[in-house]
Amino acid sequence: MAKKIIITDSVDKKAVQILEQNGFEVNYQPGMKKEDILSIIHEYSGLIVRSDTKVTADIIDKMENMEVIGRAGAGVDNINAEAATRKGIIVMNTPGGNTITTAEHAFTLMLSMCRYIAQADASVKAGKWDRKSFKGTEVFGKTLGIFGLGRIGREVALRAKAFGMNVVGYDPVLSNDAALAFGITLMSIESVFEYSDIITLHVPLDDKTRNLVRKETLAKCKKGVKVINCSRGGIVNEDDLVEALNSGQVSAAALDVFLKEPPDFSHPLFSHPKVITTPHLGASTDEAQEKVAIQIAEQMVEYFTISEIKGAVNASSIVSFSNKKLTPYVKLAEKLGSLGAQMSKEKVKEIRVHLHGELLQESNGLLATATIKGFLSSLTQDTVNLVNAPYLAKELGLIHSEIKSAASPEYANKLSVECVGTASTRSFAGTIFGNNEIRIVQVDEFQLEMLPEGNMIFYTNIDKPGMLASVSKILAEEGINIAGLSLGRLGQGKEALTVISLDTEVPAETMLKIAAVPGIKNTAQVKI
Protein backbone atom coordinates (compact mmCIF):
# COMPACT_ATOMS: atom_id res chain seq x y z
CA MET A 1 0.00 0.00 0.00
CA ALA A 2 1.37 3.43 -1.01
CA LYS A 3 2.53 5.77 1.73
CA LYS A 4 0.26 8.79 2.15
CA ILE A 5 1.77 12.29 2.24
CA ILE A 6 -0.14 15.47 3.04
CA ILE A 7 1.03 18.99 2.11
CA THR A 8 -0.75 21.75 4.04
CA ASP A 9 1.13 24.88 2.81
CA SER A 10 1.75 26.48 -0.57
CA VAL A 11 4.77 24.40 -1.50
CA ASP A 12 5.84 24.41 -5.16
CA LYS A 13 3.93 21.66 -6.98
CA LYS A 14 7.14 20.05 -8.20
CA ALA A 15 7.18 18.42 -4.79
CA VAL A 16 3.85 16.77 -5.60
CA GLN A 17 5.16 15.55 -8.96
CA ILE A 18 8.28 14.00 -7.42
CA LEU A 19 6.31 12.21 -4.71
CA GLU A 20 3.65 10.89 -7.10
CA GLN A 21 6.27 9.73 -9.60
CA ASN A 22 7.79 7.63 -6.82
CA GLY A 23 4.48 5.95 -5.96
CA PHE A 24 3.27 8.05 -3.05
CA GLU A 25 -0.33 9.13 -2.56
CA VAL A 26 -0.30 12.91 -2.12
CA ASN A 27 -3.01 15.15 -0.67
CA TYR A 28 -2.15 18.76 -1.60
CA GLN A 29 -4.18 21.04 0.70
CA PRO A 30 -2.49 24.45 1.11
CA GLY A 31 -4.13 26.73 3.66
CA MET A 32 -5.73 23.85 5.55
CA LYS A 33 -7.23 24.85 8.90
CA LYS A 34 -6.00 23.33 12.12
CA GLU A 35 -9.28 21.60 12.94
CA ASP A 36 -9.26 19.91 9.55
CA ILE A 37 -5.67 18.78 9.99
CA LEU A 38 -6.51 17.32 13.39
CA SER A 39 -9.36 15.32 11.91
CA ILE A 40 -7.32 13.51 9.24
CA ILE A 41 -3.63 13.63 10.20
CA HIS A 42 -3.80 10.14 11.69
CA GLU A 43 -4.05 8.72 8.16
CA TYR A 44 -0.69 10.04 6.91
CA SER A 45 2.93 8.86 7.07
CA GLY A 46 4.45 12.14 5.90
CA LEU A 47 3.67 15.85 6.30
CA ILE A 48 5.22 18.72 4.30
CA VAL A 49 4.82 22.33 5.43
CA ARG A 50 6.41 25.74 4.92
CA SER A 51 5.90 28.34 7.65
CA ASP A 52 2.12 28.87 7.73
CA THR A 53 1.11 25.54 9.27
CA LYS A 54 1.93 25.40 12.97
CA VAL A 55 2.70 21.76 13.75
CA THR A 56 1.83 21.92 17.43
CA ALA A 57 2.03 19.27 20.12
CA ASP A 58 -1.71 18.55 19.90
CA ILE A 59 -1.46 17.93 16.14
CA ILE A 60 1.55 15.66 16.71
CA ASP A 61 -0.40 13.82 19.40
CA LYS A 62 -2.97 12.85 16.73
CA MET A 63 -0.28 11.42 14.41
CA GLU A 64 -0.76 7.68 14.53
CA ASN A 65 1.19 6.70 11.41
CA MET A 66 3.46 9.71 10.91
CA GLU A 67 7.14 9.01 10.28
CA VAL A 68 8.46 12.26 8.80
CA ILE A 69 7.56 15.94 9.03
CA GLY A 70 9.31 17.93 6.31
CA ARG A 71 9.84 21.70 6.31
CA ALA A 72 10.42 23.20 2.85
CA GLY A 73 12.85 25.79 4.19
CA ALA A 74 15.57 26.21 6.79
CA GLY A 75 13.85 27.17 10.05
CA VAL A 76 11.61 24.78 11.98
CA ASP A 77 10.20 27.26 14.51
CA ASN A 78 6.68 26.33 13.44
CA ILE A 79 7.23 22.64 14.27
CA ASN A 80 7.29 21.31 17.83
CA ALA A 81 10.40 19.20 17.25
CA GLU A 82 10.53 18.09 20.88
CA ALA A 83 7.02 16.62 20.71
CA ALA A 84 7.87 14.96 17.40
CA THR A 85 11.05 13.46 18.86
CA ARG A 86 9.20 12.07 21.82
CA LYS A 87 6.86 10.32 19.41
CA GLY A 88 9.72 9.02 17.26
CA ILE A 89 8.88 11.24 14.27
CA ILE A 90 11.72 12.60 12.16
CA VAL A 91 11.69 16.35 11.53
CA MET A 92 13.53 17.33 8.34
CA ASN A 93 14.36 20.70 6.85
CA THR A 94 16.23 21.85 3.74
CA PRO A 95 19.44 23.55 4.90
CA GLY A 96 21.13 25.52 2.16
CA GLY A 97 18.09 25.78 -0.09
CA ASN A 98 17.91 29.55 0.38
CA THR A 99 21.66 30.22 0.26
CA ILE A 100 21.95 31.70 -3.23
CA THR A 101 18.75 33.71 -2.94
CA THR A 102 19.79 35.34 0.34
CA ALA A 103 23.30 36.04 -0.92
CA GLU A 104 21.89 37.66 -4.06
CA HIS A 105 19.51 39.78 -2.00
CA ALA A 106 22.36 41.03 0.17
CA PHE A 107 24.40 41.89 -2.90
CA THR A 108 21.39 43.57 -4.55
CA LEU A 109 20.92 45.72 -1.46
CA MET A 110 24.59 46.66 -1.54
CA LEU A 111 24.44 47.86 -5.15
CA SER A 112 21.12 49.65 -4.59
CA MET A 113 22.47 51.32 -1.46
CA CYS A 114 25.66 52.48 -3.16
CA ARG A 115 23.77 53.96 -6.11
CA TYR A 116 20.67 55.24 -4.24
CA ILE A 117 18.43 53.20 -6.57
CA ALA A 118 15.35 53.16 -4.32
CA GLN A 119 15.59 56.85 -3.48
CA ALA A 120 16.15 57.88 -7.11
CA ASP A 121 13.23 55.73 -8.26
CA ALA A 122 10.92 57.39 -5.71
CA SER A 123 12.14 60.81 -6.79
CA VAL A 124 11.49 60.20 -10.50
CA LYS A 125 8.05 58.76 -9.78
CA ALA A 126 7.31 61.93 -7.81
CA GLY A 127 7.92 63.91 -11.01
CA LYS A 128 11.42 65.12 -10.20
CA TRP A 129 14.65 65.01 -12.23
CA ASP A 130 17.18 65.53 -9.45
CA ARG A 131 20.43 63.92 -10.62
CA LYS A 132 22.70 65.86 -8.25
CA SER A 133 21.11 64.43 -5.10
CA PHE A 134 21.90 60.81 -5.98
CA LYS A 135 25.60 60.73 -6.77
CA GLY A 136 26.61 57.19 -5.84
CA THR A 137 29.69 55.14 -5.00
CA GLU A 138 31.43 52.40 -6.99
CA VAL A 139 31.96 49.07 -5.27
CA PHE A 140 35.03 48.32 -7.41
CA GLY A 141 38.17 48.51 -5.29
CA LYS A 142 36.23 48.88 -2.04
CA THR A 143 36.77 46.59 0.93
CA LEU A 144 33.78 44.45 1.89
CA GLY A 145 33.78 43.18 5.47
CA ILE A 146 31.71 40.04 6.04
CA PHE A 147 30.71 38.93 9.52
CA GLY A 148 29.83 35.23 9.31
CA LEU A 149 31.37 33.07 6.59
CA GLY A 150 28.91 30.22 6.41
CA ARG A 151 27.30 29.27 3.10
CA ILE A 152 25.63 32.66 2.57
CA GLY A 153 28.62 34.74 3.60
CA ARG A 154 30.92 32.80 1.27
CA GLU A 155 28.51 33.22 -1.65
CA VAL A 156 28.46 36.98 -1.03
CA ALA A 157 32.27 36.92 -1.04
CA LEU A 158 32.38 35.20 -4.45
CA ARG A 159 30.14 37.87 -5.95
CA ALA A 160 32.15 40.66 -4.37
CA LYS A 161 35.39 39.29 -5.85
CA ALA A 162 33.73 39.21 -9.27
CA PHE A 163 33.01 42.93 -8.86
CA GLY A 164 36.64 43.68 -8.08
CA MET A 165 36.19 44.18 -4.35
CA ASN A 166 38.66 43.34 -1.61
CA VAL A 167 37.03 40.93 0.86
CA VAL A 168 37.87 40.61 4.54
CA GLY A 169 35.86 38.73 7.11
CA TYR A 170 35.47 37.31 10.57
CA ASP A 171 34.22 33.84 11.41
CA PRO A 172 34.83 31.92 14.66
CA VAL A 173 35.24 28.58 12.84
CA LEU A 174 36.43 28.98 9.24
CA SER A 175 40.13 28.19 8.78
CA ASN A 176 42.55 30.49 7.00
CA ASP A 177 43.05 27.99 4.17
CA ALA A 178 39.31 27.60 3.62
CA ALA A 179 38.86 31.39 3.65
CA LEU A 180 41.65 31.97 1.14
CA ALA A 181 40.00 29.51 -1.25
CA PHE A 182 37.13 32.03 -1.46
CA GLY A 183 39.46 35.02 -1.72
CA ILE A 184 38.73 36.15 1.85
CA THR A 185 41.30 37.54 4.27
CA LEU A 186 40.37 36.54 7.82
CA MET A 187 40.64 39.26 10.46
CA SER A 188 39.62 39.92 14.04
CA ILE A 189 36.24 41.53 14.73
CA GLU A 190 37.93 44.84 15.47
CA SER A 191 39.97 44.77 12.26
CA VAL A 192 36.94 44.04 10.08
CA PHE A 193 35.22 47.13 11.49
CA GLU A 194 38.40 49.18 11.04
CA TYR A 195 39.24 48.27 7.43
CA SER A 196 35.82 47.84 5.77
CA ASP A 197 34.18 50.34 3.46
CA ILE A 198 31.00 48.24 3.48
CA ILE A 199 29.91 45.76 6.16
CA THR A 200 27.48 42.88 5.57
CA LEU A 201 26.15 40.59 8.32
CA HIS A 202 25.53 36.85 7.99
CA VAL A 203 25.63 35.58 11.57
CA PRO A 204 23.05 34.04 13.91
CA LEU A 205 21.47 36.15 16.63
CA ASP A 206 22.88 35.10 19.99
CA ASP A 207 24.52 36.61 23.05
CA LYS A 208 27.76 37.23 21.14
CA THR A 209 26.19 38.90 18.09
CA ARG A 210 23.30 40.84 19.64
CA ASN A 211 24.02 44.56 19.04
CA LEU A 212 27.24 43.62 17.25
CA VAL A 213 26.80 46.80 15.20
CA ARG A 214 26.36 49.53 17.78
CA LYS A 215 27.70 52.95 18.73
CA GLU A 216 31.04 51.62 20.02
CA THR A 217 31.80 49.36 17.06
CA LEU A 218 30.64 51.89 14.48
CA ALA A 219 33.03 54.41 16.03
CA LYS A 220 35.91 52.10 15.03
CA CYS A 221 34.85 52.20 11.37
CA LYS A 222 35.97 54.49 8.57
CA LYS A 223 33.98 57.69 8.27
CA GLY A 224 31.13 56.97 5.83
CA VAL A 225 31.01 53.19 6.23
CA LYS A 226 27.95 51.43 4.80
CA VAL A 227 26.00 48.65 6.58
CA ILE A 228 23.87 45.76 5.23
CA ASN A 229 21.85 43.32 7.33
CA CYS A 230 20.12 40.34 5.71
CA SER A 231 20.78 38.13 8.73
CA ARG A 232 18.67 38.68 11.85
CA GLY A 233 17.09 41.68 13.51
CA GLY A 234 18.84 42.64 16.73
CA ILE A 235 22.38 42.28 15.37
CA VAL A 236 22.25 45.96 14.45
CA ASN A 237 21.28 48.40 17.18
CA GLU A 238 18.69 50.40 15.27
CA ASP A 239 18.84 53.51 17.47
CA ASP A 240 22.64 53.65 17.30
CA LEU A 241 22.50 53.20 13.52
CA VAL A 242 20.20 56.21 13.13
CA GLU A 243 22.55 58.30 15.27
CA ALA A 244 25.53 57.24 13.14
CA LEU A 245 23.62 58.01 9.94
CA ASN A 246 22.77 61.47 11.20
CA SER A 247 26.38 62.20 12.15
CA GLY A 248 27.74 60.89 8.85
CA GLN A 249 29.78 58.11 10.48
CA VAL A 250 27.54 55.74 8.47
CA SER A 251 26.79 57.03 4.97
CA ALA A 252 24.09 54.49 4.06
CA ALA A 253 22.36 51.34 5.30
CA ALA A 254 20.29 48.57 3.75
CA LEU A 255 18.16 46.39 6.03
CA ASP A 256 16.03 43.33 5.30
CA VAL A 257 15.50 42.30 8.93
CA PHE A 258 14.49 44.20 12.06
CA LEU A 259 14.40 43.83 15.82
CA LYS A 260 10.62 43.49 15.68
CA GLU A 261 8.76 42.17 12.62
CA PRO A 262 6.53 43.72 11.44
CA PRO A 263 8.46 46.73 12.79
CA ASP A 264 7.33 49.98 14.34
CA PHE A 265 7.17 52.10 11.19
CA SER A 266 7.33 55.31 13.23
CA HIS A 267 10.99 54.53 13.96
CA PRO A 268 13.22 57.07 12.15
CA LEU A 269 14.94 54.30 10.19
CA PHE A 270 11.90 54.02 7.93
CA SER A 271 11.90 57.65 6.94
CA HIS A 272 15.65 58.16 6.77
CA PRO A 273 16.81 59.24 3.30
CA LYS A 274 20.00 57.15 3.50
CA VAL A 275 18.30 53.85 4.36
CA ILE A 276 16.88 51.16 2.07
CA THR A 277 14.49 48.67 3.67
CA THR A 278 12.85 45.44 2.48
CA PRO A 279 10.34 43.23 4.36
CA HIS A 280 12.50 40.16 5.13
CA LEU A 281 12.79 39.09 1.48
CA GLY A 282 16.07 37.19 1.74
CA ALA A 283 14.58 33.82 0.75
CA SER A 284 11.69 35.10 -1.35
CA THR A 285 12.34 34.02 -4.95
CA ASP A 286 10.59 31.56 -7.22
CA GLU A 287 13.85 29.63 -7.62
CA ALA A 288 14.44 29.28 -3.89
CA GLN A 289 10.89 28.11 -3.22
CA GLU A 290 11.12 25.59 -6.07
CA LYS A 291 14.51 24.42 -4.83
CA VAL A 292 13.37 23.75 -1.25
CA ALA A 293 10.20 22.01 -2.50
CA ILE A 294 12.23 19.65 -4.68
CA GLN A 295 14.76 19.11 -1.91
CA ILE A 296 12.21 18.16 0.77
CA ALA A 297 10.35 15.85 -1.61
CA GLU A 298 13.58 14.08 -2.58
CA GLN A 299 14.62 13.77 1.08
CA MET A 300 11.26 12.19 1.90
CA VAL A 301 11.50 9.77 -1.04
CA GLU A 302 14.98 8.69 0.05
CA TYR A 303 13.83 8.12 3.60
CA PHE A 304 10.83 5.98 2.68
CA THR A 305 12.57 4.02 -0.11
CA ILE A 306 16.16 3.50 1.08
CA SER A 307 15.94 4.59 4.75
CA GLU A 308 18.44 7.43 4.19
CA ILE A 309 18.00 10.38 6.52
CA LYS A 310 19.04 13.84 5.32
CA GLY A 311 18.42 17.21 6.95
CA ALA A 312 17.02 15.72 10.16
CA VAL A 313 16.99 18.38 12.88
CA ASN A 314 16.23 15.88 15.62
CA ALA A 315 18.74 13.28 14.40
CA SER A 316 20.42 12.94 17.77
CA SER A 317 17.49 11.09 19.30
CA ILE A 318 17.02 8.96 16.17
CA VAL A 319 20.63 7.87 15.81
CA SER A 320 20.98 7.00 19.47
CA PHE A 321 17.78 4.95 19.66
CA SER A 322 19.83 1.84 18.85
CA ASN A 323 21.78 2.14 22.11
CA LYS A 324 19.77 3.65 24.94
CA LYS A 325 22.76 3.57 27.29
CA LEU A 326 24.68 5.84 24.93
CA THR A 327 21.87 8.40 24.60
CA PRO A 328 22.81 10.53 27.65
CA TYR A 329 26.43 10.62 26.46
CA VAL A 330 25.25 12.03 23.12
CA LYS A 331 23.58 14.87 25.06
CA LEU A 332 26.73 15.28 27.19
CA ALA A 333 28.87 15.50 24.05
CA GLU A 334 26.69 18.29 22.62
CA LYS A 335 26.93 20.23 25.87
CA LEU A 336 30.72 19.81 26.01
CA GLY A 337 30.95 21.04 22.42
CA SER A 338 28.80 24.06 23.20
CA LEU A 339 30.85 24.79 26.31
CA GLY A 340 34.06 24.58 24.30
CA ALA A 341 32.73 26.96 21.65
CA GLN A 342 31.69 29.56 24.20
CA MET A 343 34.75 29.25 26.46
CA SER A 344 37.53 29.21 23.86
CA LYS A 345 39.12 32.63 23.53
CA GLU A 346 40.75 31.97 20.14
CA LYS A 347 39.78 30.24 16.91
CA VAL A 348 39.55 26.48 17.37
CA LYS A 349 41.21 24.51 14.57
CA GLU A 350 40.84 20.98 15.95
CA ILE A 351 38.51 19.14 18.34
CA ARG A 352 39.70 15.92 19.95
CA VAL A 353 37.11 13.74 21.67
CA HIS A 354 38.57 11.24 24.15
CA LEU A 355 36.38 8.24 25.02
CA HIS A 356 37.27 6.64 28.37
CA GLY A 357 35.49 3.41 29.26
CA GLU A 358 33.96 0.34 27.67
CA LEU A 359 30.52 1.79 26.93
CA LEU A 360 31.87 4.75 24.98
CA GLN A 361 33.90 2.48 22.71
CA GLU A 362 30.61 1.77 20.90
CA SER A 363 30.39 5.35 19.65
CA ASN A 364 31.68 4.77 16.08
CA GLY A 365 31.97 8.50 15.51
CA LEU A 366 28.62 9.39 17.05
CA LEU A 367 30.02 11.20 20.10
CA ALA A 368 32.54 13.18 18.05
CA THR A 369 29.74 14.18 15.69
CA ALA A 370 27.54 15.19 18.63
CA THR A 371 30.41 17.29 20.03
CA ILE A 372 30.85 19.02 16.67
CA LYS A 373 27.09 19.62 16.52
CA GLY A 374 27.13 21.33 19.91
CA PHE A 375 30.23 23.32 19.01
CA LEU A 376 29.00 24.58 15.63
CA SER A 377 25.45 25.24 16.83
CA SER A 378 26.84 27.87 19.20
CA LEU A 379 28.80 29.62 16.47
CA THR A 380 27.09 29.44 13.10
CA GLN A 381 23.86 30.58 11.51
CA ASP A 382 23.68 27.36 9.47
CA THR A 383 21.36 24.61 10.70
CA VAL A 384 23.55 21.96 12.34
CA ASN A 385 22.51 18.39 13.12
CA LEU A 386 24.13 14.97 13.45
CA VAL A 387 23.73 14.39 9.73
CA ASN A 388 25.45 17.51 8.43
CA ALA A 389 27.82 18.37 11.32
CA PRO A 390 30.82 16.40 9.91
CA TYR A 391 30.26 17.92 6.47
CA LEU A 392 30.07 21.46 7.85
CA ALA A 393 33.21 20.88 9.95
CA LYS A 394 35.12 19.67 6.87
CA GLU A 395 33.84 22.61 4.84
CA LEU A 396 35.06 25.01 7.53
CA GLY A 397 38.47 23.33 7.86
CA LEU A 398 37.72 22.15 11.43
CA ILE A 399 39.51 18.88 12.19
CA HIS A 400 37.86 16.45 14.60
CA SER A 401 38.64 12.98 15.87
CA GLU A 402 37.69 10.30 18.39
CA ILE A 403 40.40 8.79 20.59
CA LYS A 404 39.45 5.62 22.48
CA SER A 405 41.14 4.53 25.71
CA ALA A 406 40.54 2.55 28.90
CA ALA A 407 38.40 3.80 31.75
CA SER A 408 39.72 6.81 33.63
CA PRO A 409 40.84 6.36 37.27
CA GLU A 410 37.86 8.38 38.52
CA TYR A 411 34.95 7.20 36.36
CA ALA A 412 33.98 4.04 34.48
CA ASN A 413 32.94 6.13 31.47
CA LYS A 414 34.19 9.67 30.92
CA LEU A 415 33.98 11.90 27.85
CA SER A 416 36.76 14.47 27.41
CA VAL A 417 36.94 17.18 24.76
CA GLU A 418 40.00 19.19 23.76
CA CYS A 419 39.51 22.40 21.75
CA VAL A 420 42.86 23.07 20.12
CA GLY A 421 43.62 26.63 19.07
CA THR A 422 46.65 28.23 17.50
CA ALA A 423 48.35 29.06 20.79
CA SER A 424 46.41 27.19 23.47
CA THR A 425 44.15 24.23 24.19
CA ARG A 426 41.02 24.23 26.35
CA SER A 427 39.81 20.93 27.79
CA PHE A 428 36.47 19.88 29.25
CA ALA A 429 35.25 16.54 30.58
CA GLY A 430 32.00 15.04 31.77
CA THR A 431 30.24 11.86 32.75
CA ILE A 432 26.80 10.48 33.61
CA PHE A 433 25.74 9.96 37.21
CA GLY A 434 22.95 7.71 38.44
CA ASN A 435 19.75 8.01 36.45
CA ASN A 436 21.18 9.72 33.36
CA GLU A 437 22.32 12.85 35.24
CA ILE A 438 24.74 14.85 33.07
CA ARG A 439 27.69 16.42 34.89
CA ILE A 440 30.79 18.36 33.87
CA VAL A 441 33.64 17.08 36.05
CA GLN A 442 36.65 18.96 34.66
CA VAL A 443 37.41 22.34 33.08
CA ASP A 444 41.06 22.59 32.06
CA GLU A 445 43.09 21.61 35.13
CA PHE A 446 40.22 22.18 37.57
CA GLN A 447 38.23 19.26 39.00
CA LEU A 448 34.63 20.08 39.93
CA GLU A 449 31.07 18.86 39.55
CA MET A 450 28.52 21.03 37.73
CA LEU A 451 25.22 20.70 35.89
CA PRO A 452 25.67 22.14 32.37
CA GLU A 453 22.34 23.85 31.95
CA GLY A 454 20.98 27.39 31.65
CA ASN A 455 22.86 30.64 32.26
CA MET A 456 26.28 30.39 33.86
CA ILE A 457 29.29 32.59 34.49
CA PHE A 458 32.85 31.26 34.83
CA TYR A 459 35.85 33.01 36.32
CA THR A 460 39.19 32.20 37.94
CA ASN A 461 40.73 33.82 41.00
CA ILE A 462 43.23 33.25 43.76
CA ASP A 463 41.60 30.99 46.35
CA LYS A 464 41.20 33.34 49.28
CA PRO A 465 38.30 34.60 51.43
CA GLY A 466 35.96 37.27 50.06
CA MET A 467 36.21 36.60 46.32
CA LEU A 468 32.81 34.91 46.01
CA ALA A 469 31.24 37.52 48.28
CA SER A 470 32.40 40.31 45.96
CA VAL A 471 30.80 38.71 42.94
CA SER A 472 27.63 37.78 44.83
CA LYS A 473 27.26 41.39 45.93
CA ILE A 474 27.43 42.63 42.32
CA LEU A 475 24.84 40.10 41.21
CA ALA A 476 22.57 40.95 44.13
CA GLU A 477 22.77 44.66 43.35
CA GLU A 478 21.66 43.88 39.77
CA GLY A 479 18.77 41.69 40.99
CA ILE A 480 20.26 38.50 39.51
CA ASN A 481 19.48 35.37 41.50
CA ILE A 482 22.07 32.62 41.99
CA ALA A 483 20.66 29.15 41.26
CA GLY A 484 23.75 27.07 41.96
CA LEU A 485 27.48 27.12 42.59
CA SER A 486 30.39 24.87 41.62
CA LEU A 487 34.00 25.30 42.72
CA GLY A 488 37.28 23.79 41.62
CA ARG A 489 40.68 24.70 43.02
CA LEU A 490 44.30 23.68 42.68
CA GLY A 491 44.97 24.09 46.40
CA GLN A 492 44.60 26.59 49.22
CA GLY A 493 45.95 29.96 48.15
CA LYS A 494 46.34 28.82 44.56
CA GLU A 495 44.16 29.47 41.54
CA ALA A 496 40.50 28.44 41.69
CA LEU A 497 37.65 28.20 39.21
CA THR A 498 34.14 29.35 40.13
CA VAL A 499 31.03 28.50 38.13
CA ILE A 500 27.81 30.29 39.12
CA SER A 501 24.47 29.14 37.71
CA LEU A 502 21.92 31.93 37.41
CA ASP A 503 18.21 32.29 36.81
CA THR A 504 18.73 34.95 34.13
CA GLU A 505 21.29 36.19 31.66
CA VAL A 506 23.90 38.62 32.98
CA PRO A 507 24.06 41.99 31.14
CA ALA A 508 27.37 42.86 29.53
CA GLU A 509 27.79 45.84 31.88
CA THR A 510 27.50 43.53 34.90
CA MET A 511 30.08 41.13 33.44
CA LEU A 512 32.46 44.08 33.14
CA LYS A 513 31.92 44.91 36.81
CA ILE A 514 32.74 41.32 37.78
CA ALA A 515 35.84 41.32 35.57
CA ALA A 516 36.99 44.52 37.28
CA VAL A 517 37.04 42.91 40.77
CA PRO A 518 40.71 42.73 41.86
CA GLY A 519 42.00 39.16 41.55
CA ILE A 520 39.32 37.91 39.17
CA LYS A 521 40.41 36.78 35.69
CA ASN A 522 39.13 34.88 32.66
CA THR A 523 35.46 35.79 33.03
CA ALA A 524 33.04 34.18 30.59
CA GLN A 525 29.30 33.89 30.28
CA VAL A 526 27.87 30.64 28.91
CA LYS A 527 24.35 29.56 28.04
CA ILE A 528 23.55 25.89 27.45
Residue-wise pLDDT for 129-140, tens only, equals 999 999 999 999
Q: Is 400 a catalytic residue?
A: no
pLDDT at 326 over 90: no
Which range is least confidently modeled, 342-351, 399-408, 420-429, 495-504? 399-408
pLDDT at 272 over 80: yes
More confident residue, 326 or 483: 483
Q: Would you list the DSSP string of 208-273?
A: TTTT-BSHHHHHTSPTTEEEEE-S-TTSB-HHHHHHHHHHTSEEEEEES--SSSS--TTSGGGG-T
Which CATH code is given to the segment(s) 4-96+288-312? 3.40.50.720
Q: How many Å apart are CA 236 and CA 213, to the nearest integer?
A: 5
Q: Name the packing angle between helices 286-306 and 14-21 (round to 10°).
A: 20
CB 276 within 8 A of CB 112: yes
Name which residue leads in pLDDT, 407 or 362.
362
Residue 315: what pLDDT?
A: 65
Determine the distance from the C-alpha atom of residue 129 to the mean position of all C-alpha atoms in its chain, rounded to a whole number.
45
| Residue pair 41/2 in contact by the 8 Å Cβ criterion | no
Cα separation, 29 vs 46, in Å, equals: 13
Active site residue 214: no
Tell me what percent of the residues of the chain surpass a pLDDT of 90. Answer: 73
50, 151, 202, 232: the catalytic one is 232
Instruction: Give the span between the Cα atoms of 166 and 145, in whole angstroms.
Output: 9
What does the pLDDT read at residue 387? 61
Give me the catalytic one of 43, 280, 362, 395.
280
Residue 321 has pLDDT above 70, yes or no: no
pLDDT at 323: 65
CATH annotation of 314-444:
3.30.1330.90
pLDDT number for residue 240: 97
Q: Where in the chain is the domain with CATH 3.40.50.720?
A: 4-96+288-312, 99-277
Confidence of residue 386 (pLDDT cuts 50, 70, 90): confident
- pTM for the whole thing? 0.73
Of residues 33 and 318, more confidence is placed in: 33
The answer on pLDDT for 212 being more than 60 is: yes
Interval 394-407 mean pLDDT: 87
Determine the average pLDDT of the residues in 344-357: 93
Check 35, 131, 261, 509 and give the catalytic one: 261
Split at pLDDT 50, 70, 90, the class of 7 is very high
Band the pLDDT of 319: cuts 50, 70, 90.
low
Fold (topology level) of 99-277: Rossmann fold (3.40.50)
Average pLDDT over residues 26-36: 95
Q: Where in the chain is the domain with CATH 3.30.1330.90?
A: 314-444
Q: Is 358 a catalytic site residue?
A: no
Q: For the segment 175-199, what is each residue's pLDDT rounded down to a tens digit?
A: 999 999 999 999 999 999 999 999 9
What stretch(es) of the chain map to CATH 3.30.70.260? 454-528
The reported pLDDT for the residue numbered 364 is 77
CATH class of 454-528: alpha beta
Least confident of 99-113, 141-155, 315-329: 315-329
Mean pLDDT, the chain, as a whole number? 91
Sequential DSSP letters for 283-332: T-SHHHHHHHHHHHHHHHHHHHHH----SBTTHHHHHGGG-TTTHHHHHH
